Chain A
Amino acid sequence: MSDHNISEHDFDKFAEFFYRKTGIKFEPSKRYFVDKRLTERMRETGSDSFRHYFTTLRFQASGEELQRLTNLLTVNETYFMREDYQFRCLIDSMLPDVISRHDPRKPIRIWCIPSSSGEEPYSIAMYLLEEWEGINDWDVELIASDIDTQILATAQKGIYSERSIRNVPASWKRRYFKSVPGGHQVSEDIRDAVEFTRINLSEPADVRSMRNIDIIFCRNLLIYFDDKSRKVAAEYMYEAMSPGGYICLGHTESMGRISPLYRVKKFPAAIVYQRPLEAK
């Protein structure tokens, strides 16, 4: 007979394991959310108890079940100005540091991967125009990449729901959006400022094309990779960056568990990771 009950001990054991594997920490306050998804997977996999399911999760060589569960336990919703403390950090800390040693004849290069449906690169573009005085003195290239060509096409159209733009300041909304059938479209100037490219972060030939990137936003992507792929992806991004360049991960992610190549940099607004300046 199946016993899909999850005891407090089971939850703690699972939470510790999941944290080590993904960097995502579930506090007891998230029990309802986690238990519901664990029970669903136990039922789907035919596990007769938490113990049985946990054994599969921990020892399955392919890691397939852990990936499925991870997908269920991560929220994919994206929207404008999401985790915008990192954009504040971009303006206040990362860019001033980057330009202090940057050749003024060359553009600053910012790379968003994954682009998803475009909310993040467009948010950055707006932040740069609205909040960064340096935009008067520097050229900035904004590149947004995704493996999914369909989502890139959606991003290029730049049409969003009211919910997606709910955190955009009203004055920015007036300046950078217009109402169109189906929602709100990002202005042509902003859309034209972002270069959308298809890149598979696990494909050497794709990543080899990326060079001299000063700042990378790679948020909530690596949690979907297995350990090997995550490490390799971190190594590719290292290659794409200029020495002293920065990388921003999602707030639940930590480079320390992925690769030792980067240095932790604590800025007032955010913790980010830096390719060491002296690195060859």
Chain B
Amino acid sequence: MALKKSRKKNTTQSQNEKRDCNQIRNELLSDDASSRRWAARDIVNCPGATHMLLDQLNNEEEPSVRQVILSSLTQLGDSEAVEGLVNCLRSEDASLRNEAIEAMKQLPEEVAPIMATLLNDPDPDVRIFAVNILESLCHDDVEQWLVSVIRDDEHVNVCATAVDLLGEVGSEISIEALTGLKDRFTEEPYIQFAADLAMKRISGD
């Protein structure tokens, strides 16, 4: 036995064949996970792709297929994809929620227009997830959104999540809101601690 070069072509004929969208749609429902993953990649050029991917995301149990679906939704990045990901934030499935958060972090321009709505959602968990999205959202308004949270949100856990992040990304413009946050939650030791820490980091002490 030995080192040897591959004797067969790596590419099989079927892999090279152009598949039409109907075929790809059917493969998205295949019993074979690999076929579903490839269909989830290839479907992005088909009409109605976002809708089909979101449908499959909610029914898909294989994590590897879900990851590919999320990558394709991120690639599509249209309003329907963003809306579908937002709906995942309300899912009872913690994995799906976290996967949606990660996907939305990749869509700063698409998520930005709905961020204010997310940060004002009646469900505090959704507001916390929205702050989680801000953690890695590459957008100019991140600090301003966080300031609005610590200034206006009445839920201590939402504010605590936001103040942690402000300690990392905040600047002098956050100082006033951080001081105000301490005044709003005088009985919450964690808020006092986190706000002080954020201010210390911002001022560079």
Contact = CB atoms under 8 A, between A and B. Distances in A.
Interface in B56-91: 62-64, 67-68, 71, 74-75
A58 interface: yes
Contacts of A194: 3, 5
A259 B71 CA distance: 11
Contact of A141 (B5, B106, B169): B5
Contacts of A260: 63, 67
Given A58-B138, A232-B71, A239-B37, A210 B2 contact: no
Given A7-B204, A63-B138, A140-B3, A228 B75 contact: yes
A138 B1 contact: yes
A190 B2 CA distance: 11
A135 B5 CA distance: 14
B20 interface: no
B76 to A, nearest CB: 12
B21 to A, nearest CB: 16
A209 B15 contact: yes
Contact of B6 (A9, A137, A143): A143
A61 B139 contact: yes
Contacts of A109: 6
B201 to A, nearest CB: 8
B42 interface: yes
Interface string A109-139: 1000000000000000100110000011111
A210 B41 CA distance: 16
B124 interface: no
Interface of B is mostly: helix
A195 B6 contact: yes
Interface string A219-244: 00000000110011001001100000
A232 B139 CA distance: 22
26 contacts: A16-B168, A58-B138, A59-B142, A107-B6, A129-B3, A139-B1, A139-B3, A141-B4, A141-B6, A142-B3, A143-B6, A194-B5, A195-B6, A204-B41, A208-B11, A208-B15, A209-B15, A227-B105, A235-B68, A239-B34, A239-B37, A260-B63, A260-B67, A261-B64, A279-B64, A280-B64
Interface of B: 1-6, 10-11, 15, 32-34, 37-38, 41-42, 62-64, 67-68, 71, 74-75, 105-106, 108-109, 136, 138-140, 142, 168-169, 171, 204
Interface of A: 7, 9, 16, 20, 51, 58-61, 63, 107, 109, 125, 128-129, 135-143, 190, 192-195, 197, 204, 208-211, 227-228, 231-232, 235, 238-239, 259-261, 279-280
Given A58-B169, A228-B106, A280-B33, 11 more contacts: A107-B4, A140-B2, A141-B3, A204-B42, A208-B11, A211-B10, A227-B106, A231-B67, A260-B67, A261-B67, A280-B34
